[in-house]
Structure 1
Amino acid sequence: MRAPPGDYPPSWYALTRMPAEPRAGLAGLAKADVAIVGGGFAGLHLARLLALRGRRVAVLERQRIGWGASGRNGGFVSPGFAESSASLVQRLGAQRARALFAHSQAGVRLVEQAIAELGRPELLMGRGQLTCCRSARGRGFGDEVRALAETLGAAFEPWTAEQVQGALATSRYHQAIHDPQAFQIHPLNLALALAADVVARGGQVFEGTGVDTIARERGAWVARTAQGRVEAAELVLAGNADLGPLHRTLVRSVLPVATYVAVTEPLGRALGDSVRWGGAVTDTRRACDYFRVVDGDRLLWGGRITTDTREPPGLRELMRRHIVAVFPQLSAVKIAHAWPGVMGYARHKMPFIGQLEPGLWMSSAYGGHGVGQTAAGALLLADAITEGDDEWRRYQAFPLRWAGGAAGRMATQVVYWWMQARDLWDEWRAPPKLGGGRRSG
């Protein structure tokens, strides 16, 4: 059943979301075992896990559930982080990188488990993910991919150029990495379903409730809002790039980065002739495109990265050109919906998961990989809060670090431009050819 967009920002997800009336804001005093600031995936998965373990939870969301990045993304659920797995192995060593990758795999499993327990199989929209190379990688590609998968305990595998071209009718792509563990979802509907389940299990979810201050008072954490306050033994900051002034060091460490998503008008047979693959597709460029088929014959397409979080003029035409650059046979494509989303990044491209001070926790900065990894972070914090487990300490290798403010955003934008230039240079040196280049092993 389709619901009107209501007060959600316009998007294909808002148009196709499940009916959900706005939830009341906080008024007066509420008490909980754990208060969670942020009604996106990081906060909702944690709230549900804690409620399942008998804890009283209160979720405080400034806007609507899934309002931000959680309800606007591409809907890709897969293991891994914004930082590449190969870089983590090089930096941390095989054993520590493997442990982190196992956390991310646990997050993927938890999302699928939650969907099953919620009785919402329609939230699953496809399986498998291809990460395609925009330039030929040579004969050693297959061996490199298999070696990395073995190091990490991963399920991904190399695909040859011929396999890729059997799935995607484009000369832009060569070899690929196929991950059978990945799947795709309707993210906004999952967020709404998680919130409903939290309430059904005795939790409290407040919308339109921005937190102005947090403080430790008489042995409890207090989150104050314009109309009331929540008192809790534990407090979790689970916001993304919009936490406001609640914790200066954390907020200054999160860099807001914008990306864009579009959904086409129905394309009919032309789309089926071009995309003969039911899962997700992304590429190996430093500033990648990503896409999947939705509604049977529409293309959901995401891409571009910028630290300018304003929506650019002509966004629909901009996204249309990206599609046609990969699939020129879809030159007549029309964009039905296009929208921006803001992600939170850390300088080291790893999430902030852990304890800020006794009773005060954080789960933030998932860098565009939050659909699965927020669940992994929620599992770590739920174990810490309810069992005293300290597995979250593995993320102390990625500390809070000032993102540079306005100068940092400018510097990051220059880096993105440099990355895009490198991508173009790599493709120019090995231009795409029909037939896909050399076969990989």
Structure 2
Amino acid sequence: MTSEAWPGRSWYQDEAGPDRSGAEPLNVDSDVDVAIVGGGLAGVATAVALVERGVDRVAVIEADEIGSGASGRNGGFVFAGYSLGNDALADQVGEDRAREMHGWTRASVAEVRRRIRDYGLDCQANDAGVVLTDWFHRPEAMQEFAERMQQRLGFELSWLDPERCAEHVRSPRYGGGLHEPGSFHFHPLRHIRELARWLIERGAKVWHHAPVRSIERVDGAWSLRLDGARVRAREVVLTTGGYDRRLRPAVQRALQPIATYIAVTEPLGDRLQECLPQPVAVYDNRFAFDYYRPLPDGRLLWGGRISIASRSPAAIRRLMGRDLARVFPSLQGVRLEQAWGGWMSYARHEMPLLGQLPDGLWHGLAFGGHGMATTVLAGQVLAEALSGDRRRLSAFEPWPARWAGGPIGRAVVQGKYWWLQARDWWASRGS
């Protein structure tokens, strides 16, 4: 049963059941080489990359349950790119560096797939891929975008004309679409729990229900204070996302927590295949797009909207129900059995915050929008830097932690979102 208060209980939580990864509370003092604060995918992926490199005594410390934040509550899309648009990335750092950095995200998608295969991760991975649909019925613009991505970034997207697009997703709302080779979708909460299990089986520590109250330098090492225990660590990595902004305000004040919403339908039977002849994940080319994908038990997971507001599950159902019916009129009135929200963390520049503070503390934050691949990339980049190779980490220096503006910044962000949504509405009037 969905909790009727923000953020709501997710379908993922009910489907996966209790966490059986082996994560434990922490109630005794401990010494580790690397302590990672934050048990979302950024933290767990950093630990996995360190263990893969042979680093001993790694610990992940999570205030709640592993994957309880955005990493276990999202749409489950695994595809390339950053939250910053591809053209903007190339404009800011030049096409050569942008091609290289975008390529890292494509390699990260492949790395997620490799780990699922090699480590036997049970996370309902679906290889049908991800399709970007044309909300505005402008095929020339979509084809030109695909050609530009190939030229500027070496990023291949397959054009689907309206007939071929309808073989994947059928809606009068769309024109054609673009299919991203190599992309896929999965159960994000199962995935992160399975990674935690893999870590524990290899001797790493994963502690949950263990909120860190402070991080201080003491006698040349880090001292982390928890309720009833302390952890001493040679290195500390902060990966708390949008769910904590107290431990290191110097970097965490650069985060803007932005809400998105998801609902899951009742089982749809044949109606699901009528809408999605292929089990692809779908999103469209508006700023505040819909995103959705089929689930193994015949349900449709539907997400969308971008806001600074925390809404009740009942309000989310109403919003998602209207959006769903606009795309698939045949599903008008379908029962949305569960609904929830979550906080994505963004920086003002829309790129991840990766680096090391002057006092030596490492951080990997701000993965809103494309988190399933970029968090895994961040884990690899941070593991490399912790092992002495900072070459890829230096590529993220153009995007430092800049204050996000606090409450005033949130109001500005909401105003920008409303303006962009209004622009999309105006542009779609003729379609």
Into which bin does the TM-score normalised by the smaller protein fall? over 0.9
Residue type matched to 1:27 in 2? N
Cα 1:114–1:9 change in 2 (3 A) is farther
Give, in angstroms, the shift of residue 265 of structure 1. 0.2
Shift in Å, 1:296: 4.5
Shift of 1:390: 2.5
Q: Larger deviation: 384-393 or 288-297?
A: 384-393
Check conservation: 1:134, 1:427, Cα contact below 8 A. Answer: yes
Distance 2:315 2:139 in 1: 38
**Counterpart position of 2:4:** none
Between 255-264 and 149-158, the greater mean CA deviation after superposition: 149-158
Distance (whole Å) between structure 2 residues aligned to residue 249 and residue 358 of structure 1: 11
| 1:38-90 per-position Cα deviation (integer Å, ceiling 9, x unaligned) | 00100001111212323211111000000000110000000101111011112
The match for 1:194 is 195
- Structure 1 residues 159-202: Cα deviation after superposition (integer angstroms, max 9, x where no partner): 22222233222111112221011100110001111111111111
The count of residues paired between Structure 1 and Structure 2 equals 423
Residue number in structure 2 paired with 1:163: 164
Is 149-158 or 341-350 further displaced after alignment?
149-158
Partner of 1:76: 77
CA drift at 1:420: 1.1
Q: Is the 8 A contact 2:353 2:396 kept in 1?
A: yes
Greater shift, 259-268 or 148-157, is seen at 148-157
- 2:3 aligns to what? none
Q: Deviations over 1:254-286 (max 9, x none)?
A: 000010111100111122112112211001101
Give 1:325 deviation, angstroms. 0.6
Which stretch shifts more, 312-321 or 224-233? 312-321
- Paired position in structure 2 for 1:26: 26
The TM-score with structure 2 as length reference comes to 0.94
Within 5 A, what are the aligned runs for 1:111-260?
A: 111-120=112-121, 123-139=124-140, 141-260=142-261
Q: Runs ≥4 in structure 1, deviation > 6 angstroms? A: none
Letter in 2 for 1:211: V
1:120 to partner: Cα distance: 2.6
Question: Which residue is 2:16 aligned to?
Answer: 17
Letter in 1 for 2:167: G
8 Å CA contact retained: 1:125, 1:186 = no
Query: What corresponds to 2:276 in structure 1?
Result: 275
Residue 167 of structure 2 aligns to a residue in which SS? helix
Aligned to 1:349, what secondary structure does the other structure show?
coil
Task: Tell me if 1:37 matches 2:37.
Answer: yes
Q: What 5-or-longer segments of structure 2 have no aligned partner?
A: 1-6
Task: For residue 230 of structure 1, give the secondary structure of its aligned residue in structure 2.
Answer: strand
User: Which 10-residue stretch deviates more, 354-363 or 79-88?
Assistant: 354-363
Alpha-carbon shift at residue 125 of structure 1 (Å): 2.6
Matches within 5 A, 1:381-396: 381-396=382-397
Query: What's the secondary structure of 1:113's corresponding residue?
Result: helix
Task: Tell which deviates more after alignment, 126-135 or 205-214.
Answer: 126-135
Equivalent AA in structure 1 for residue 295 of structure 2: V
Q: Secondary structure at the match of 1:189?
A: helix
Contact 1:28 / 1:229 at 8 angstroms: preserved in 2? Answer: yes
**Secondary structure in structure 2 of the residue aligned to 1:302:** strand
> Matched residues in 1 for 2:174 and 2:48: separation?
40
Confirm or deny: 8 A CA contact 1:233 1:359 kept in the other structure: no
- Secondary structure in structure 1 of the residue aligned to 2:247: coil
Instruction: Give, in whole Å, the separation in 2 of the partners of 1:28 and 1:299.
Output: 44
Per the alignment, residue 88 of structure 2 pairs with 87
SS at match of 2:55: coil
2:146·2:156 contact (CA, 8 Å) conserved in 1?
Answer: no
Cα 1:423/1:143, change in 2 over 3 Å: closer
- Percent identity reads 38
- Is 1:360 matched with 2:361? yes
Q: CA deviation at 1:146?
A: 2.1
CA RMSD after TM alignment: 1.7
